């Protein structure tokens, strides 16, 4: 079994909470998990403030908390070998919750972007959510190790470039492009959906083989 599989980590790391020491993949409590929950709570506070005060600035601050926290929990987990299965699942869910809240507020301010936003949410909150959770079917700690299963799926979706394309490019284009350019993020979102569906089909073939 590869060393970055769930079974391959059973012999190393602690089961209980550790500040800097390595943890087993089955561990429940960890610093990265606390970071994930903190960024979820923090971003939601700003998203709610955006609604209550009718100020889009709070919505963008919430998005910044989401992105910074998403980087921080993963960086800490890898640095101190505290990657856990529960942590990966919490991270996947938190990403979707925070993104949904951001775009609900975003559409209240820019309703003309309904189509590209909807397409992107179909991709990220549904298709990519299903794809990301397939790491459990292959005995991996998180989607970060999909290169052990298929290099294409990893490069397209879970490599640093793949993650950036999946979670950032469409969002930034929606924020910064002029209103008349809305077809571009819509096309990008459709491309992402196609990539995810292709990746899901590849993984289905791997499971059958």
Please give the structure tokens belonging to residue 134: 């397939």
Q: How many residues does the chain have?
A: 209
At 158 the pLDDT is 97
For the stretch 77-95, pLDDT in tens is: 999 999 999 999 999 999 9
* Contact between 122 and 193 (Cβ < 8 Å): yes
For the stretch 29-87, pLDDT in tens is: 999 999 999 999 999 999 999 999 999 999 999 999 999 999 999 999 999 999 999 99
Mean pLDDT of 140-165: 96
What is this structure's pTM?
0.90
pLDDT over 70 percentage in the chain: 93
| Phi then psi dihedrals of residue 122, to 5 deg | -60, -40
Q: What is the DSSP letter of 5?
A: B
At 13 the pLDDT is 67
């Amino acid at each position: 079994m590869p060393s970055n599989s769930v079974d391959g980590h059973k012999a190393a790391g602690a089961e209980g909470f550790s500040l800097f020491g390595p943890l087993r993949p089955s561990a429940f409590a960890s610093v990265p998990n606390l970071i994930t929950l903190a960024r979820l709570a923090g971003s939601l506070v700003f998203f709610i403030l955006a609604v209550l005060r009718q100020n889009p600035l709070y919505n963008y601050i919430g998005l910044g908390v989401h992105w910074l926290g998403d980087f921080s929990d993963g960086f800490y987990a890898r640095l101190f070998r505290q990657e856990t299965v529960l942590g990966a699942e919490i991270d996947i869910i938190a990403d979707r919750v925070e993104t949904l809240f951001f775009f609900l507020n975003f559409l209240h301010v820019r309703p003309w972007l309904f189509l590209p936003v909807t397409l992107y949410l179909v991709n990220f909150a549904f298709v990519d959510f299903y794809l990301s959770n397939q790491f459990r079917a292959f005995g991996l700690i998180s989607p970060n190790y999909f290169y052990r299963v298929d290099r294409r799926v990893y490069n397209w979706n879970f490599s640093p470039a793949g993650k950036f394309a999946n979670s950032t490019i469409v969002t930034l284009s929606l924020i910064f492009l002029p209103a008349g350019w809305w077809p571009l993020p819509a096309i990008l979102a459709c491309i992402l959906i196609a990539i995810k569906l292709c990746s899901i089909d590849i993984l289905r073939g791997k499971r059958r083989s």
